[in-house]
Amino acid sequence: MTHESTAVGLASAYSNATTASGDWWRDAVIYQVYVRSFADSDGDGIGDLRGVRSRLPHLARLGVDAVWLTPFYVSPQADGGYDVADYRAVDPLFGDLADADELVRAAHGLGLRVIVDVVPNHTSEQHPWFRAALAGEPGARERYLFRRGRGADGSLPPNDWESIFGGPAWTRVADGEWYLHLFAPEQPDLDWTHPEVTAEFDSVLRFWLDLGVDGFRIDVAHGMVKADGLPDIGRGAQATLIGTEPLPFFDQDGVHEIHRSWRRLLDSYAGARIGVAEAWAPSSERLALYVRPDELHQAFNFRFLTCPWDPGAMRTVIDESLSATTAVGAPTTWVLSNHDVVRHVTRYGGGPRGLARARAAAMLMLSLPGSAYLYQGEELGLPEVSDLPPDSRQDPAFRRGRRQQIPAPAPTPHPTVIAPRDGDPTRPGAGTGNGPEAQVCCGPQAGADIGTQAQAATGPEARACCGPQAGGPGAGTRPQAATDCGPAPEAQGQIRPEAEAGIGPEARACCGPQAETGAGPAPDPLTAPEADGQDGLRDGCRVPIPWAGAEPPYGFGPVGSWLPQPPEWAGLSVAAQTGDPHSTLELYRAALELRRAMPGLGAPGAGPSPDPSGMRWLPSPDGVLLFTRPGFACTLNTRPEPVELPAPGRPVLSSAPVETDGRTVRLPPDSCTWWAF
pLDDT digits (tens, 9 = 90+) for 619-668: 999 999 999 999 999 999 999 999 999 999 999 999 999 999 989 999 99
Peptide linkage before 553 cis (omega within 30 of 0): yes
Q: Say how far apart CA 525 and CA 518 lie, in whole Å.
A: 19
pLDDT given at position 47: 97
CA dihedral 41, 44, 48, 53 (to 10 degrees): 10
User: Out of 191, 278, 490, 532, which one is annotated catalytic?
Assistant: 278
Give the residue among 21, 28, 50 at the shortest CA–CA distance from 38.
50
What's the average model confidence in pLDDT over 197-207?
A: 98
Tell me: pLDDT of 616 over 50. Answer: yes
Q: Say how far apart CA 451 and CA 254 lie, in whole Å.
A: 53
Give the residue among 392, 405, 366, 421 at the shortest CA–CA distance from 594.
366
Q: Model pTM?
A: 0.80
Verify whether residue 202 is a known catalytic residue.
no
Q: What is the pLDDT of residues 331-358, one digit of tens each?
A: 999 999 999 889 999 999 999 999 999 9
pLDDT given at position 4: 56
Interior angle at CA 368, CA 367 and CA 373, nearest 5: 90
What's the average model confidence in pLDDT over 211-230?
A: 97
Interior angle at CA 522, CA 516 and CA 526, nearest 5: 95
Verify whether residue 278 is a known catalytic residue.
yes
pLDDT given at position 244: 84
478: alpha, beta or left? (left if phi > 0; alpha if psi -120 to 50): beta
| Cβ-Cβ contacts under 8 Å for 569 (sequence gap 6 or more) | 382, 447, 546, 552, 554
Please indicate whether residue 458 or residue 357 has the higher confidence score (pLDDT): 357
Please indicate whether residue 397 or residue 428 has the higher confidence score (pLDDT): 397
Buried b (16+ CB within 10 A) or exposed e, 386-412: bebeeeebbbbbbbbbbbeebeeeeee
User: Out of 27, 40, 219, 251, which one is annotated catalytic?
Assistant: 219
Residue 521: pLDDT band (50, 70, 90) is: very low
What's the average model confidence in pLDDT over 3-16?
A: 39
Q: Is the dihedral of CA 658, 590, 547, 502 positive or negative?
A: negative
Query: Across the strands, what pairs with 627?
Result: 617, 634
Share of the chain above pLDDT 70, in %: 74
Residue 535: pLDDT band (50, 70, 90) is: low
Q: Say how far apart CA 99 and CA 48 lie, in whole Å.
A: 9
Tell me: pLDDT of 600 over 60. Answer: yes
Q: CB–CB of 231/248 below 8 Å? A: yes
Least confident of 7-21, 144-158, 381-395, 643-657: 7-21
